[in-house]
Amino acid sequence: MAERRFGGVDVLVNNAGIFAPKPFLDHIEADYDRFAGTILKGKFFMVQAAAKAMKARGGGAIVQTGSMWALQAVAATPSSAYSVANAGVHQMVKNLAIELAADRIRINAVAPAVVETPVYGTFIAADQVASVLAGFHAFHPLGRIGQPKDVVGAKLFLASHEADWITGTILPVDGGAMAGR
């Protein structure tokens, strides 16, 4: 559709995801399938479609949304199925950076920590979201949770020609959370 409407695909920002902390022993197979299907399978096939279009056009840039939870477990938010799916996204970035380089297609990912997005309202009561998120300010050395604009800037950079020599990178965009872990 993008090829038809815009004449080609130059950039893909792949941002599909779900999040719902749950202890490992409480997961059922449907939980795993939901996380793996949405986060990993969805991104895998979206990248495949975009890469085909980019190859025909002579190259492009792909930016995946991964997660800090795929780099570091967080006790306050047990998220094994979510983390496993995002670790797959991170590994896909590394593998495809090598595989797609000859076609001048770059692929990178950002790995955000806690960012204020509507996803928290999917498992926290609406009247409690603000106070729950405020409890995570201290988790980030910069003293606050992220805002969408914090992640957007990193994605725009990775998609831009200023990042033409960057591929296969997982960039923590986390207010310093990974620095102390």
Catalytic sites, residue numbers:
82
Sign of the CA dihedral with 145 first, then 151, 152, and 153 last: positive
> How many angstroms separate the Cα of 37 from the Cα of each of 53, 139, 165, 168?
23, 29, 31, 22
CB 105, CB 51: distance < 8 Å: yes
Q: Classify residue 90 as left (phi > 0), alpha (psi -120 to 50) or beta.
A: alpha
Residue ranges of alpha helices (H) inside 36-166 are 42-57, 80-100, 129-134, 148-159
